[in-house]
């Protein structure tokens, strides 16, 4: 699922064409039918998403509370490296099965790239330095939130009706209706590529078309499938969409990044006229509350902070020796089992020569794409974009442009107060050209101030009025500049799916792996990290019980 509002809009558009075609309707007729059904359901007091969620929970599909195992007389030593959401979820799921693990974290903070900013804004508003948006099919995150009594806000449900995205390319607005018309011409080619590629493309499972598309870049796909290619407004829009979505130039990305994300849609019957199931959510008060709640549940002795992994090697006896930097010195930890909940972007900087990994795993660690994204947050005295202006209709704050920035969305949805927060979200070369050289900084940093002033100038061409409405508050986050992350998240470069795709999660002897980079379904998402942490715990528990 998409990280950004733009990709969710494009996914929704593709889904509408898919479902409308299956039902013999036009997209406009399908939307009208869905609207009528939603109004009927609202009158009956029914929330379909809530009903589905509760049903799945009752069936046990979302619970992380697993049966407790019989404790061995001599319990195994389990070391989990990384106290982000992947490592913490793994530790929690293992504990639920009766297995104790120690979590080693390099920094003094819990949560990794779930990192909330609760102190920078007027009216007590909250932003996220890294992962922000949660979709309704992110079941692991919903289950964790429910387990710890945390509230999910529905962002789209809070947004007033009648607001729309704003596109601006080549010095003029590109109305959403024109984008839908243009997309209708591209959809048949997209659907054809999706069907030919097959359900998935990995190193051990690929169709001829899947292999060919993996060897093609997103840039070349747009040039060959979109009428007018990159000179067309839709071509420019798609290029921006995938640069920000994966944090890299489209020339560097596998075309399957686009085909699978935009083209793959649920069975038409799944929607059953009830509207889309991928609404955006955010945890009220900040997403970091989930890892903090897990850490509290695990107890104070489970997480060892200030332990930065330097080396992993296999001992002659088949155990694993982890060398950590701790303060001015170092320490060796010997473990029977190791779970590496660190990004491959970080693992590639470690000494793994004697870890016993196979060649394909080493290649994935070294070469998997490392996204560069920036989040420049600006707070305004009011949410002026929702008002009438020179832009088409009234904007929802989601803009896409080529004026110097790439994308914005409103962060202050479902938050109280008169001020409004926009994030200027960038990827690839645009991010790299920013003045900020600190991973996480406020407007007190000269680079952030320079970026804020530049961003306001770029935004002024699309949503004029921002410069006079800005209240002087700003932050910039560049996760790839943090040596503990080295990337915003992972992505597949050209040819990488057939080279090692699917092997990222493969166990190497007594070493298991988890994180967003090991997820084929939710790569780059918080859900990918959390669900893979649970998967690694289940895999390890089966091994231990089998032993």
Task: Give the residue numbers of the binding site for FAD.
Answer: 105-106
> Phi and psi at residue 518, in whole multiples of 5°?
-100, 0
Q: How far is residue 282's CA from residue 153's CA, in Å, rounded to a whole number? A: 5
Q: Could you list the residues known to form a binding site, using ranges.
A: 105-106
Token pair recorded at residue 252: 């560097």
Q: How many residues does this entry show for the chain?
A: 547
> CB 219: neighbour CB atoms within 10 A?
23
Q: How far is residue 283's CA from residue 53's CA, in Å, rounded to a whole number? A: 16
Q: How far is residue 308's CA from residue 107's CA, in Å, rounded to a whole number? A: 8
Q: How far is residue 248's CA from residue 219's CA, in Å, rounded to a whole number? A: 11
> Phi and psi at residue 309, in whole multiples of 5°?
-65, 130
Strand, coil or helix: 293: helix
Q: How far is residue 143's CA from residue 323's CA, in Å, rounded to a whole number? A: 34
- From 209, 238, 211, select the one nearest 222 (Cα to Cα): 238
Burial of 430 (0-12, 13-18, 19+ CB in 10 A): buried
Strand, coil or helix: 545: helix
Report the DSSP pairing between strands 373-380 and 420-427.
antiparallel
Contact indicator for 492, 524 with CB cutoff of 8 Å: no
């Amino acid at each position: 699922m998409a990280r950004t509002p733009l990709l969710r809009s494009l996914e929704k558009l593709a889904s509408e064409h898919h479902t409308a075609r299956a039902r013999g309707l036009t997209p406009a007729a399908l939307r009208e039918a869905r609207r009528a059904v939603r109004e009927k359901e609202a009158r009956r007091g029914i929330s379909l998403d809530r009903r589905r969620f509760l049903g799945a929970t009752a069936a046990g599909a979302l619970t992380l509370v697993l049966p407790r195992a019989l404790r061995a007389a001599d319990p195994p030593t389990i070391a989990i490296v990384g106290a982000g959401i992947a490592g913490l979820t793994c530790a929690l799921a293992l504990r639920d099965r009766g297995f104790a693990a120690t979590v080693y974290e390099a920094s003094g903070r819990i949560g990794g790239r779930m990192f909330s900013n609760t102190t920078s804004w007027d009216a007590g508003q909250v932003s996220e330095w890294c992962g922000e948006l949660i979709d309704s099919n992110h079941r692991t995150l919903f289950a964790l939130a429910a387990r710890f009594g945390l509230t999910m806000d529905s962002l789209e449900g809070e947004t007033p009706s009648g607001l729309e995205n704003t596109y601006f390319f080549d010095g003029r607005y590109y109305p959403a209706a024109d984008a839908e018309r243009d997309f209708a011409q591209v959809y048949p080619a997209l659907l054809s590529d999706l069907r030919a590629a097959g359900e998935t493309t990995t190193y051990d499972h690929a169709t001829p078309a899947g292999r060919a598309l993996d060897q093609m870049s997103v840039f070349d796909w747009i040039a060959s499938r979109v009428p007018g290619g990159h000179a067309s407004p839709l071509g420019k829009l798609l290029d921006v969409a995938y640069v920000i979505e994966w944090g890299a130039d489209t020339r560097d990305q596998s075309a399957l990044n686009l085909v699978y994300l935009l083209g793959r849609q649920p069975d038409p019957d799944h929607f059953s006229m009830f509207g889309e199931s991928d609404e955006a959510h955010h945890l009220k008060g900040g997403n970091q509350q989930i890892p903090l709640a897990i850490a509290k549940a695990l107890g104070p002795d489970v997480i060892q902070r200030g332990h930065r992994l330097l080396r992993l090697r296999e001992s002659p006896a088949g155990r694993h020796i982890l060398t950590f930097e701790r303060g001015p010195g170092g320490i060796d930890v010997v473990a029977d089992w190791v779970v590496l909940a660190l990004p491959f972007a970080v693992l590639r900087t470690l000494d793994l020569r004697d870890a016993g990994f196979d060649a394909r795993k080493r290649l994935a660690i070294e070469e998997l794409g490392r996204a560069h994204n920036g989040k420049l947050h600006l707070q305004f005295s009011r949410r002026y974009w929702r008002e009438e202006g020179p832009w088409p209709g009234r904007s929802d704050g989601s803009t896409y442009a080529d004026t110097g920035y790439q994308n914005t969305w409103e962060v202050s949805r479902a938050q109280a107060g008169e001020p409004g927060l926009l994030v200027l979200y960038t990827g690839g070369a645009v991010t790299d050209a920013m003045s900020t050289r600190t991973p996480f900084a406020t407007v007190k940093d000269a680079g952030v101030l320079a970026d804020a002033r530049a961003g306001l100038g770029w935004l002024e061409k699309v949503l004029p009025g921002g410069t006079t409405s800005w209240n002087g508050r700003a932050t910039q986050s560049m996760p790839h500049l943090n040596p503990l992350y080295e990337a915003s998240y992972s992505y597949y470069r050209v040819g990488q799916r057939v080279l090692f795709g699917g092997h990222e999660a493969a166990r190497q002897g007594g070493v298991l792996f988890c994180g967003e980079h090991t997820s084929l379904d939710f790569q780059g998402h918080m859900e990918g990290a959390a669900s893979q942490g649970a998967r690694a715990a289940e895999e390890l528990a089966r091994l231990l019980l089998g032993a």
